[in-house]
Amino acid sequence: LLLPPMNGEPVRGEPPPHLLALTGSAAVLEPWLADPNALPSLEALTLSGSQRAPGSIPLDSLAALPALRHLGVHHPVDPETLLRHPLMERLETLDLFSVHPGPTLAAVEKHRDRLRQLRRLLLPGHLVSPARRAAFADLPARFLSPIGYPEGHR
């Protein structure tokens, strides 16, 4: 796992060869994500803390990463755009627990058929009722709450 500098500056140079996992903001990682050939072994990517506008994840670039099987999104994102993208069809795990639950859960419900191949789906659980959680029983969904809140906190 490589954690690039968190100073907001884009990464420079080439990524380490055979990099398997990477965490950082889309803005910082943009130079590497723009060239899928630079990350041929990347299996897991978590995008966090982006200052970009919602929906600005470089989905087409991510879809070109041949080994990518896990995507984590820990910043504002348009869940409709994300879940409609063909990239979703080949992922094994998807982590959306740090995004706003309302629109995210609505989009997951709408696109649930495209997510059935997932082995794990992490969703935001803060202020999500047990009845609402039960609506996702047919998916490999786990609901997570922020640290400091018990699982059943409402």
Residue type, 19: L
What are the phi and psi torsion angles at 141 (to 5°)?
-90, 140
Q: Does the pLDDT of residue 43 top 80, yes or no?
A: yes
Reading the block at residue 46, the tokens are: 């978590």
Task: Write down the residue that tokens 């803060």 correspond to.
Answer: 126
Give the pLDDT band of residue 6 (cuts 50, 70, 90): low
More confident residue, 49 or 23: 23
What gap in Å lies between CA 19 and CA 83, rounded to an integer? 26
CA torsion angle 31 37 43 47 (round to 10): 20
pLDDT at 110: 95
pLDDT digits (tens, 9 = 90+) for 127-151: 888 999 999 999 999 988 765 444 5
List of residues 6+ apart from 35 with CB closer than 8 A: none
pLDDT at 53: 47
- For the entire predicted model, the pTM comes to 0.85
Q: What is the mean pLDDT of the chain?
A: 84
* β-bridge partners, 143: 123
The conformational region for residue 114 under phi > 0 = left, psi -120 to 50 = alpha, else beta, is alpha
Q: If you average pLDDT over residues 120-124, what whole number do you get?
A: 92
Count the Cβ atoms, other than its own, within 10 Å of residue 123. 21
